[in-house]
Amino acid sequence: MSKETTKTALLEAGRRVFLERGYNHAGLELILQAAGVPKGSFYHYFDSKEDFGLQVLNRFAEGHNAVLDRYLREPGFSPLQRLRRLTEAMCERLESLQCRNGCMVGNLSLEMAEHSEAFRSRLDAICGAWVGRYADCLKEAQEAGEIPAGLDARDLAEFWLNSWQGAVLRAKTVRSTAPLRTFLKVMFESVLKKSDLGDV
């Protein structure tokens, strides 16, 4: 394997193992084994397990940013349609994984935010960047008259993301997408719904 391939294989194995077991239970041996990379080469690529963990997290966040940008800027759909298509796609993705692994950012927030300032600040920045993307789309939807104009788009985006994380967490416990479907239903039929009689 080339240097770049080996590094990518390690990061990809880290993503899978972190999602299945969390960070603390992801032994380096297991990750090396999953990546098919010989022992001893790990520290050639990463300073420490924390450095590795942060790079796995960054790679996950970049991948998800690309998904968000693809859906939330998709041509030919209104802002509200784009938001709905994104959320449906995320539901389907979690369904295909039997809702088992949840979201790496939610999982690591619970596991690491209290114990590592490096993880905490990185997780905070990642969520902030996601909130920004949702807020832009929600603002567009307000300007297009698709959703009520009375709510602050940034507050709504924060609320959206946190509520989604909560629904993903619950989906892990009930092992079904029912909490995600309830999220979709209440969000689109209540929070984002314009009254037929006009709106504030």
Please state the closest distance from residue 1 (CB atom) to a copy of itself, in A.
31
Q: Which two tokens stand for residue 126?
A: 């990642």
CB 115 within 8 A of CB 24: no
Alpha-carbon distances of 36 from 9, 25, 41, rounded to whole Å? 8, 19, 11
Terminal-residue alpha carbon distance, the chain? 60
Please state the closest distance from residue 146 (CB atom) to a copy of itself, in A.
15
Give the type of residue at 73.
R
d(CA 200, CA 184): 23
CB 18 within 8 A of CB 104: yes
Segment interacting with a copy of itself (CB under 8 A) among 58-66, 80-88, 123-131, 134-142: 123-131
- Indicate which single residue of 5, 33, 48, 173 sits in contact with a copy of itself (rule: CB under 8 A): 173
199 is a contact residue toward a copy of itself (CB under 8 A):
yes
64 is a contact residue toward a copy of itself (CB under 8 A):
no
100 is a contact residue toward a copy of itself (CB under 8 A):
yes
111 is a contact residue toward a copy of itself (CB under 8 A):
yes
22 is a contact residue toward a copy of itself (CB under 8 A):
yes
Q: Which of residues 131-170 bind a copy of itself (CB under 8 A)?
A: 148, 150-151, 155-156, 158-159, 161-167, 169-170
Q: Among 147, 183, 189, 188, which Cα is nearest to 165's?
A: 183
Q: Among 124, 86, 162, 116, which Cα is nearest to 22's?
A: 116
Segment interacting with a copy of itself (CB under 8 A) among 35-43, 54-62, 87-95, 181-189: 181-189
Q: Among 68, 71, 80, 75, which Cα is nearest to 105's?
A: 68
Contacting positions for a copy of itself (CB under 8 A): 22, 24-25, 100-102, 106-107, 109-111, 113-114, 120, 123-124, 127, 148, 150-151, 155-156, 158-159, 161-167, 169-170, 172-175, 179, 182-183, 185-186, 189-191, 195-200
